[in-house]
Amino acid sequence: PFCFWFGSSDAHRSYAKGSGLKKGKTLEQAEVPGFLPDREEIRSDLLDYAFEVERFDDDCGRMLTALEEIGELHNTLVIITSDNGMPFPRAKANCYEFGIHMPLAIQWPREFPGGRRLSDLVSFVDLTATIYEATGCSAPDAFPVVGRSLVTGLKSDRTGNLNEDRQQIL
């Protein structure tokens, strides 16, 4: 199996002010969460953030294409996520939905059926457990796995919430 890791600084607060508008987005396209004031400055900032997310998506698409071109896509466990919520008040670094609900996409065409949406609660520690199980490796005794592997759910063809006994994550 092939392992590929990509880390991006896109969608972090260092993005250029007005970049969303410069790329052709309009203020009317911004979806302002109810906890933020609906003002032009906020809408523009949300468009800048959206532009950064789209650039990250484009980068991921190019990387998946590169893996396909070298014949490794079906042999590669791909995990795509962010490291925190969006960089706005009541979001990043806060335990509200916009601070803890992050994107997560996993594919391994050789092993998992695709085109499904699962709604289980997942924590980053589960990714470690998933990678260990998927690769057949064991965690070192000094660092035992504390998360739950997602492999069983990813190998199933079911959708929705597959692990109903998990009602919370910490």
H-assigned helices in the chain: 19-22, 40-69, 97-100, 124-135, 151-155
Alpha carbon 94 to chain centroid, angstroms: 17
Q: Which two structure tokens, joined as six digits, stand for 146?
A: 């504390």
pTM: 0.86
Three-class SS state of 129: helix
* Measured distance CA(122)–CA(142) in Å, rounded: 24
User: Among 59, 25, 62, which residue's Cα sits nearest to residue 44?
Assistant: 25
Q: Residue 106 has what pLDDT? A: 94
Q: Residue 98 has what pLDDT? A: 87
Q: How far apart are the first and last CA of the chain?
A: 31
* Measured distance CA(131)–CA(135) in Å, rounded: 6
Q: Residue 2 has what pLDDT? A: 66
Q: Residue 1 has what pLDDT? A: 62
Q: Residue 167 has what pLDDT? A: 86
Q: Which two structure tokens, joined as six digits, stand for 70?
A: 């070298």
* Measured distance CA(2)–CA(138) in Å, rounded: 17
Determine how many CB atoms are found less than 10 A away from the CB of residue 49: 22
Q: Which two structure tokens, joined as six digits, stand for 18?
A: 């007005």
Q: Residue 74 has what pLDDT? A: 93
Reading the chain (170 residues) residue by residue, the pLDDT tens digits are 666 777 787 778 888 999 999 999 999 999 999 999 999 999 999 999 999 999 999 999 999 999 999 999 999 999 998 888 889 999 988 888 888 888 899 999 999 999 999 999 999 899 999 999 999 999 999 999 999 999 999 999 999 998 888 888 87
Q: Residue 7 has what pLDDT? A: 76
* Measured distance CA(37)–CA(145) in Å, rounded: 42
